[in-house]
Chains A and B, each alone.
Chain A
Amino acid sequence: MLLSIGMIAAAILIGVPLYYILVNSFKTQADMVTSPLGLPQEWFFGNWQDTLTDAGMYRSFANTIYVTVLGVALQLVVGAMAAYAMIISSSRTTKILGAVLLLGFIVPGQSTMIPLYRTLVGFNLVDDLNGLVVMYLGGSIFCYFLIQGYMRTLPFEVIEAARIDGASANQIFWRIVLPLIKPILVTVGVFQTMWVWNDFLLPTVFISSPQKKTVVLEVYNAVSEFTTDWPAFMTVTVVALIPMVVFFIFTQRHIVSGLLSGSVKG
């Protein structure tokens, strides 16, 4: 009982900042200054009206969805293809290659950012959503790493049987292997989605046009726009966080299993 009360109190303390932005999005500026943590004296919906009628907010969501869906799907396909090739033809060359690929797992993004920025300028991919997708492809190495670990636990008779029946390598990959590895694709996909959706580093370096902003960048810029109007900023933040809350509720189980498989093997 005592433990319950103590733990719930500690958890609520952790949750206060989230409560704070939610409750203040329903206040006027003056109301917020008089009571930053209390309930609104009068529920005010002006901030929500402004945010929900702002075309920039919708555009930033569309941009982020585009980059996340395309970026994560490509990472998963590239990673799964490499993992499949590695498992199927385990010659010495592929083993060495596998070890070399792991380097891409260790090198931090910051180390390659400056030359890649120059290269992407040359391809007209800076300030372009597709440029961001290209940058996020670097995550395929991480996908490869986790997927091949999972593939080692699979029964290979199925693939052998399909090959004997005359299925081509392509057919085997798309029709048999991908459905078989669905659990790990979901786990890794959830993880990479969190990374791409939340990323601030690459959008802030690579994106400059207002029409191409991602959600995180949009919120960051809202701060300078609303320097004094805190409740307006709180509302934008809450709107940006809602998809993450929904995502969290539906994928919590996968996030935890990904955390464990990623960390246990990493």
Chain B
Amino acid sequence: MNRAFLIPAIVVFVFLFVIPLGQSFYWSLTDFTGYDPELSFIGLANYSTILNDPSMLAGLGFTLMFAVGTMVVVTLVAIPLAVQMNKAFFGKNFVRSLWFFPAVPSMAILGLVWSYILSPLPSGVLNTLLNRWFGVDAVSWLSDDTLARWSVVFVGVWAQAGWHAVLYLAYLQSIPHEYYEVAKIDGASPRQQFFGITLPLLTPAMVISSFLLLTNGLKVFDLPYTLTGGGPGFSTYTITQSIIVSGVSQGRYGLASALAVMFTVAVGVIGFSQLKLTSVISRRFV
């Protein structure tokens, strides 16, 4: 009787995960277009198409760059920020809330807001201010390949740094105060205390935070899509955008499915390595 309570979850799991994943895998080996019910097996042809298509390769490349870029920069910003937030100062709650807030609204809307700020036109906000204060000519923030990529990463960091700082803060607060007192008596400098006590004890938090940043980064879609639309050219194209364009808009189900399968495997491998890494690290430090 009690097992009946499992039925809704099983139905959700079968219809929203098992069947579609199976279909994705099956279609990835076919030339299915959605219109023609006659589909034929084409083996791994879809996979080789992906590896030769410039737009899809660009999507893979930028998605990786975004995931790794935000992971590294957010971590470098969030840890010092958390250390500062852990001290007592006037306006602490205000500071924490303001840093944290960008993680709350929709990334799509924030991407649109930043598209006005970073507009490459001379009338863009940043360009207007740079021109007025420093006499700089209009910078092509979103219309130059490299600048556009870094602009997307920058906005991603802006939106997530405070959130991850709060995560680190929780771990910082669990470090016993005596550790620092003993270190001070032994004459350790603040710098030595940070590298000798704080950083090693933050390792579990770093593992979790970087895992979240990496997996969320791989799934990124909203931000580049609303900020740059994937451009200029395909420079800020993402895997998700490729899946939607080739699958839903162009009806190339086989191709989109192959991309989805590759994506699932990539996320799975990263998730698995993360689990391994966590157990190795926690055995060392805890």
Q: Which residues of A contact B (CB under 8 A)?
A: 1, 3-4, 6-8, 10-12, 14-15, 17-18, 20-21, 33, 36-37, 77-79, 81-82, 84-86, 88-89, 94, 97, 100-101, 103-104, 106-119, 134-135, 137-138, 140-141, 144, 169, 173, 194, 197-201, 204-205, 216, 219-220, 223, 230, 233-234, 237, 240-241, 244-245, 247-248, 252, 255-256, 259-260, 263-264, 266
Contact = CB atoms under 8 A, between A and B. Distances in A.
Secondary structure call for the A interface: helix
B94 A111 contact: no
Interface in B34-67: 34
Interface string B159-171: 0001100110010
A247 to B, nearest CB: 7
Interface residues of B, number: 85
B264 A14 contact: no
Interface of B: 1-6, 8-10, 12-13, 16-17, 19-21, 23-24, 27, 34, 84-85, 87, 89-92, 94-95, 97-102, 104-110, 112-117, 123, 125, 128-129, 158, 162-163, 166-167, 170, 208-209, 211-212, 215, 218-219, 221-222, 225-226, 239-240, 243-244, 247-248, 253, 256-257, 260-261, 263-264, 267-268, 271
Contact of A173 (B5, B104, B114): B5
Contact of A36 (B2, B23, B125): B125
Contacts of A244: 104-106
Secondary structure call for the B interface: helix
B20 to A, nearest CB: 4
Nearest to B127: A36
Contact of A115 (B23, B84, B94): B23
Given A111-B261, A205-B248, A260-B170, A248 B104 contact: yes
Contact of B16 (A20, A86, A138): A138
A36 B117 CA distance: 10
B17 A81 contact: no
Contact of B17 (A36, A107, A248): A107
B253 A241 contact: no
Nearest to B266: A108
A18 B112 CA distance: 12
Contacts of A104: 12-13, 16-17
A111 B2 contact: no
A37 B170 CA distance: 35
18 contacts: A7-B92, A11-B91, A17-B114, A20-B117, A81-B9, A85-B2, A85-B6, A112-B20, A115-B19, A118-B23, A138-B16, A199-B106, A216-B106, A216-B108, A223-B115, A234-B116, A255-B104, A260-B167
A12 B101 CA distance: 12
B112 A4 contact: no
A113 B128 CA distance: 41
Contacts of B95: 7-8, 10-11
A263 B209 contact: yes
